[in-house]
Amino acid sequence: MNDKMEKIKKIFRGRIRFLIIPAVLLLLFIFIFYGPIEHFRYFWINITMHTSRFQFLSKMLYTQNYINEVIGRIEPEKNPRTDNSELDHNWDDGITFAEIKGNNYKGYIIKINDPRRLFFPQATRLDGNLLEEYVVKNEALGGINASGYTVVEQKGIVWGTTVVNGEIIARCKQGDYHVMGGFTKDYKLTVGGFTEEEIRAKEYMWAFEFFPLLIVNGEKTQFQPFSGGYAPRTAIGQTAQGHVLLLVVDGRQIESLGATFEELQTILYANGAVNAINLDGGSSSCMVFNGRLANSPSSTEKERLLPNAILFR
């Protein structure tokens, strides 16, 4: 009888030990992902939601409303808009190129003193074009990537509402409002959330749809900690004098993890931007200056094909 009781006790103790490990792991999981360490959740959601392959790692843990709150995604119609103030028109032929460095990133910024030098070519192939191809074909000095693409297999098809030569050539059907950035007839970078009718009324020479807005009317937009995660970034801004800032930050590399939206914003603000908007990032982020690739794209193919580009002559 005693032997049987001892066997039962051993089995019971063994099962308890077997249950303790998963119970501890479960409690640890709950503490990490739902506990008091809010900054970890911000970090986790921003890192996963800004990559196309790993969004499920956040979506299976949190509601979409909470995810939107953490990544700072707001309704397009609630975005601020560039006002009607005029530029100083302090323009000349100056172009400067500089390397920038932060604690977790490195990148490059080009300042173009005359916004009339910029233009917005579109892909000539369904699979898109490399940035160098845009530069060579259009006899440009350099430029950056711009819009996102619709499908992986056809990167030449642009995502989002797009204006070229004053005409809307592509439309986004996801809602009535669109977060836009582009240059109007007075060469002012105008950003904000607009309806299609308002986009037409702005008389854009060329414009693209992307997000988020970084700076509007000299004021920084608000972001949660780690917003966007650490990733390769591309952005465009304009100073009160009308000078244009083209910015690319490398990421997903040992020497440069990448930048958050707030860090991108800080760089442009420090360089005098009064209006600025984020462009397509990740493996698409690239910059050409004086005909040569300036940065180190994170794509496994070295460079990604693009639906369009912002160039300057």
Q: Count Cβ neighbours within 10 Å for each residue of 88-109 and write b for 16 or more, e otherwise.
A: eeebeeebeeeebebeebbbbb
Mean of pLDDT over the chain: 90
% of the chain beyond a pLDDT of 90: 68
Phi-psi domain of 218 (left: phi exceeds 0; alpha: psi -120 through 50; beta: other): left
- As a whole number, mean pLDDT of residues 219-241 equals 94
Residue positions counted in the chain: 313
Each residue's pLDDT tens digit, 257-266: 999 999 999 9
Confidence band, pLDDT 50/70/90 cuts, at residue 5: low
pLDDT of residue 167: 97
Each residue's pLDDT tens digit, 108-135: 999 999 999 999 999 999 999 999 999 9
pLDDT of residue 247: 98
